[in-house]
Amino acid sequence: MEVPMAWRPSLKKIIRSVTSPRGAFFVGFLVSLFLLPCTSGPYIIILGMLAKNAFDAQAIFYLFIYNLIFVNPMILITLAVYKGFDPNKAEEIRQKRLRALHLIAGIVMLAMGIVILAGWV
């Protein structure tokens, strides 16, 4: 979860203390509130494009690309954990490669900004 560093210990403690489905729902909702500003932008833009025209091929294409980049990896990780991949091992891999992941994310965002500012979309 990408939140301010000062909040992380408290939030991790809350996440680790969950022992019931009701608690998991609450914590999932809490985490979603932090992720919403980062993840909902593309959907809001695409919905705006689709509101103008019920079938906008460009909007459908953008939605496909967004889901390919953002949603599919989460589905693959969920399936891997379901099939027995250790979540602790996944976190270890993520922590080991965190700098590279942030670099890749930064490059992708920079490229997207250039594309938007250049008017290519």
* pLDDT at 119 > cutoff 70: yes
- Where are the domains positioned within the chain? 1-39
Phi-psi region of 108 (alpha: psi -120 to 50; beta: other; left: phi over 0): alpha
How many CB atoms neighbour CB 86 within 10 A?
Answer: 10
Q: Are 94 and 85 in contact (CB under 8 A)?
A: no
Give the residue from 61, 74, 6 showing the smallest Cα distance to 35: 74
How many CB atoms neighbour CB 63 within 10 A?
Answer: 19
- The pLDDT, as a whole number, for residue 85 is 92
Q: Which of 3-17, 51-65, 78-92, 104-118 is predicted most confidently?
A: 78-92
Could you tell me the two tokens for 39? 């993840």
Q: What does the pLDDT look like over 20-75, one tens digit per residue?
A: 999 999 988 888 887 777 777 777 777 777 777 777 787 788 788 878 887 888 89
The model's pTM: 0.55
- The pLDDT, as a whole number, for residue 117 is 86
- The pLDDT, as a whole number, for residue 2 is 62
Computed over every residue of the chain, the mean pLDDT equals 84
Query: From CA 90, how far away is CA 96, in angstroms rounded?
Result: 10
- The pLDDT, as a whole number, for residue 68 is 85
Give me the count of residues in the chain. 121
